[in-house]
Amino acid sequence: MPETTMLSAKGTKAGKVELPDALFAAPVNEALIHQAVVRQLAGQRVGTADTLTRGQVTGGGRKPWRQKGTGRARQGSRSAPHWKGGGVVFGPHPRGFEVRMPAKMRRAALLGVLTAKAEEGALRVVEGFDLPEIRTRAFAERLAGWDAGGKVLVVLPSRDPVVERSCRNLREVRVLLADSLNVVDLLEADTIVFTRDALARAGEVYA
């Protein structure tokens, strides 16, 4: 079972913590991870764009001018696509972008990303945040003490208003619950910060 150093709120070493094999020793399948990313991003698309075809445009029933004798090209309807205000050819219509993927494959992709991040050294496990009140500067100091740079993903065992509001103004910090991890947020993060309780909670949910 892999181990990592657990850090205190001040950034000092507070002992060792074992990382569950089920979470951080899983096979890394890049094709499976890519499929999971495509599925998640596709699921975020709304698919409500809509256009009118020439049959749906109001009017256009009368011929604009007679067929012959005017010197102009013959026209049959003002709702034709080449007229201003006419119908749209091959325009978008409401549709769903859902990509189906079995739950076992989704979980395997998630565990693969966690394993890859741990192998890259992007994982931090902390005892807690020790924030008695909402302080953005204090939270930023905690991150600096943990050497958590770049885009940071903070994983909590449950909702914590003090932590969530303390990092609200930090643009590169995102907060997730341990039971709501997803492939895209994990891949985008340069550093992933787990609390000790969040690590235990993730083990219960995903192991």
- Classify residue 32: in a domain, yes or no: no
- CATH number for position 18: 3.40.1370.10
Question: Is 127 strand, coil or helix?
Answer: coil
How long a stretch of residues is the chain?
207
Maximum alpha-carbon separation in the chain? 94
- Classify residue 67: in a domain, yes or no: no
Contacts of 121 (CB under 8 A, 6+ apart): none
- Classify residue 188: in a domain, yes or no: yes
Taking the complete model, does pTM exceed 0.85, yes or no?
A: no
- Classify residue 90: in a domain, yes or no: no
Q: 129 exposed, middle or buried (CB, 10 Å; 0-12, 13-18, 19+)?
A: buried
Enumerate the β-bridge partners of residue 195.
126
Question: Is 7 strand, coil or helix?
Answer: strand
- Classify residue 48: in a domain, yes or no: no
- Classify residue 95: in a domain, yes or no: no
- Classify residue 42: in a domain, yes or no: no
The parent domain of residue 148 ranges over 3-27+100-206
User: Would you give per-residue pLDDT tens digits along the chain (207 residues)?
Assistant: 678 888 888 888 888 888 888 899 899 999 999 999 999 999 999 999 999 999 999 988 899 999 999 999 999 999 999 999 999 999 999 999 999 999 999 999 999 999 999 999 899 999 988 888 899 999 999 999 999 989 999 999 999 899 999 999 999 999 999 999 999 999 999 999 999 999 999 989 987
Q: 139 exposed, middle or buried (CB, 10 Å; 0-12, 13-18, 19+)?
A: buried
**What pLDDT score was predicted for residue 66?**
95
Domain count, the chain: 1
Cα 192 to Cα 8, 19, 144, 147: the distances in Å are 15, 14, 13, 11
Closest CA to 187 of 124, 133, 116: 116
